[in-house]
Amino acid sequence: MFVSKSMTRKVISIDKEAGIFEAQEKMAANHVRHLPVVDKNNHLIGIVTDRDIRSALPYSLFREPSSQRDKEKISDLRVKDIMTENPATISLTYTIQDALLLIQKLRVGALPVVDEEGTLKGIISVRDLLRAFINVLGIGEPGTLLGILVEEKVGQLKKIVDAITEENISFGSVLVARYWDEDKRAVFPYLLTQNVAHVKRKLEKMGYHLLDPMEWYLDQLPKNE
């Protein structure tokens, strides 16, 4: 799960001397919101985002500059005037998890990926991470999600996986999430089948509690306030 496998390799980058309208057009044409700024050796020196451009323009001018004079004034602005210099970067050996945590921590939309010399190798965006996680969840393939409540002790997951495997059912993914009872865990196997009624009955017979689907919390636990 290294970023090198999930990042965009053909990076749309820009020169620091480029005008900001050029940067804006480049973003629009390529449907990106981040342009790494590189020198002639493809070394990363900065990053410019659609938000940087928006902040540099009065709103009325952002859409359509009114007069020629305004337009000229703004077109004097260069990428180097508005870019973030020495932006946060990650290396090719970062994992997807690293990127996920760092993007959340820094509140950025994308991270340039560079090698040891600082040469731009790729960029990983929130969009790339979403794609990776759709793959991890297995939801690109047809299947059925189960929610099982288990006590937190060693060997529970094995029993569940074994019971399902015995029915010749393949897994798209298995997620384990915290539950609001501290000694419980919620297990979410995504099973690549439509035929789940039998395996659900089997798990219940084994003593597992199937969660009410309306009480599945993948993202966060309900707050006790």
108-127: which residues touch other proteins (CB under 8 A)?
A: none
d(CA 118, CA 99): 18
29 in contact with other proteins (CB under 8 A): no
**Residue 189 found at the interface with other proteins (CB under 8 A):** no
| Residue (66 or 170) nearer to other proteins, CB | 170
Among 25, 39, 152, 167, binds other proteins (CB under 8 A): 167
Which residue of 168, 220, 222, 224 would you call a contact of other proteins, by CB under 8 A?
A: 168
Which one among 213, 219, 223, 225 touches other proteins, defined by CB under 8 A?
213
Cβ-based nearer residue to other proteins, 35 or 196: 196
- Pairing assessment for the beta strands 34-38 and 171-178 based on DSSP bridges: unpaired
Q: Cβ 185 to other proteins, closest distance in Å? A: 20
Which residue in 119, 135, 103 sits closest to 11, CA to CA?
119
| Min separation Cβ 173 and other proteins, Å | 12
Strands 120-125 and 209-210, bridge-based pairing: unpaired
Q: Name the one residue in this structure whose structure tokens are 């395996």.
A: 199
Q: Are 81 and 112 in contact (CB under 8 A)?
A: no
Q: Is 145 in the site for other proteins (CB under 8 A)?
A: yes
Binding site for other proteins (CB under 8 A): 139, 141-145, 167-170, 192-198, 200-201, 212-214
